[in-house]
Amino acid sequence: MTEYDYWKIFPRMPQKVTIGDITIRDGFQHEEKTISTEAKIFYGEEMIMAGCRELEVTNLGNPAGIPQFRDADKVLGYFRGEKFKKNCERKGINPADITFTAVTIREAAVDRAIEMKKQGIGPDRILMMVSTDPEHHFANSGTTLSQYWKEVERCIKKASDVGIKMNGTVSTIWGSPITGATNMADAVEFTKRFLELGAFDIEHADHDGSASPADVYRYYSMILDAIPYPEVHLAHFHETKRIASASVLAALQAGICRFEATLGGLGGQPANFLDDCPVKGTGEYYYKDPRYVGLITMEDLLVMIDEMGIEHGYNVDRVLWLGRQMEKTIGRRLRSEAIYNGRTEKNGHMEFARPGLKKLIEKLGEKPGQLIPADWKPKATLPKKLRPKKQAGAL
C-alpha cells in the first residue's frame, strides 16, 4: 500500500521552520533608486511585528560601491534605540530574541561592525561569503579563495572576541553565472571549512537560480549526512526560473528548517546604477533581464509553508498587507501572487455562489449534501477493463 503520511515518507522534514527576512538588505540592494532610511526602518520593524526573528538589516561595505546602504549606522541605530524597544514591549516582543545581521564581505566591513558593536549599535551577526567558483568569488570579493580564507580566519576570531556571530555563506553550489557547472562536493567541503574556523552557521546560497529541485534534495542530504545539525544550515534561493518554491520543498524533504526570503521577491546583484548615476556595484549584471533575479517571495513562501501545516511564527495576513505596500514603495508590480490571490480559504468565498441551489434541492426532493442519485450504490466499482476496445480509425 502507498504511504500517505508525508512526514513518514520524508522523516527528516521539519514540523517547524524559521524564515528570516532579508528585504531591507538583499531586497533593496538591487534597486536602482534610493530607498529612504524611513522605508527601511518601517519594513524591518513591521516584519518583526509580523513574526520575523532573523532580520538582515544592511551591508557594511564601502558606500562608494553600494551607496544604497550609506545609512547603515542610522538603520542599525534605530533597532538598538529606545523607540524600537518600546514598540516591541507594547507587542510583547523581547528584542533579545531578534538576531540582527549585517553583510560584511571584506575585513574592513568586519572592522566597521566591531566598532559599531563597541558603540552599542552593532549587529549580532555578520556574513562573509565564498563561492566554489573562483571566478565568481573574485568578482564578488576581488581576492583569490586562498587569500580570502585567511581573511575569514582572522575575521571570525576578532568578531568572536566582541560577541558577534559569523555566518559563512557558500555560493555557486549548483552552478555559476560565470563558469557554469560546479561540483556540489566542493560546497560541502567549504561548509566544513567555515565551521572548522568557528562560523556560527552556514547559508547555502543559490544566488543565480541555478538549482533544480532534484539537486537541491541531493545537496542538502549530503550536507545533513556530513553535518547532521539542521539548525546550523540556512537555505537561500533566488527565483530566476520560477522553480524556487520547488527547491524549498526539496530542501524541506531533505530536512532543512531555516530559510530566508524577501517581500515581493526583491533582490539580486548590487545595483550598478542609482537614481541618476552609474555606481560601481559588482560590475555588469549577469542576467538578460535584471528585473527577475530576486529571492523567493516571502509572501508566497509563507502561504505555501502555512498551508502545508508547518509552524512558522508569522502573521501571514500582515505580511501579505506589507507586500502590497512594498509595491507602492518600489513603484512597480512585484513577483508575489499571494498578495493578490491570498490564501486558500477553508470557508470558501460564498459571495461567488450562484443563487438558487438550496431551492432547487428542495424542489427536487434531494437531501442537503447529496452528491449522487439516491438510487445509486454508495461506492463506485471500477470495471475490470478501464478503457473501451479500440475502434476502427481511432488514434
For the chain, report the end-to-end CA distance as a whole number of angstroms: 34
> Is 137 contained in some domain?
yes
Q: At which residue does the C-alpha cell 571584506 appear?
A: 106
Looking at residue 387, its pLDDT comes to: 76
Q: In this structure, what CATH number is given to the domain that contains residue 36?
A: 3.20.20.70
Taking only the tens place, the pLDDT of each residue in 124-154 is 999 999 999 999 999 889 999 999 999 999 9
> Is 83 contained in some domain?
yes
Residue 390 has pLDDT above 80, yes or no: no
212 is in which domain, residue-wise? Answer: 11-341
> What is the Cα–Cα distance from 205 to 51, expressed in whole angstroms?
23
> Is 209 contained in some domain?
yes
Residue 389 has pLDDT above 80, yes or no: no
> Is 18 contained in some domain?
yes
Looking at the whole model, is its pTM more than 0.85?
yes
Percentage, residues of the chain above pLDDT 70: 98
Looking at residue 290, its pLDDT comes to: 82
> Is 26 contained in some domain?
yes
Looking at residue 292, its pLDDT comes to: 86
Looking at residue 394, its pLDDT comes to: 59
Give, for 244, the enclosing helix (H) or strand (E).
helix 244-254
> Is 45 contained in some domain?
yes
Read off the amino acid at residue 1.
M
> Is 87 contained in some domain?
yes
> Is 353 contained in some domain?
no
Cα radius of gyration (the chain): 25
Number of domains in the chain: 1
Name the region of 128 (left: φ>0; alpha: ψ -120 to 50; beta: rest). Answer: beta
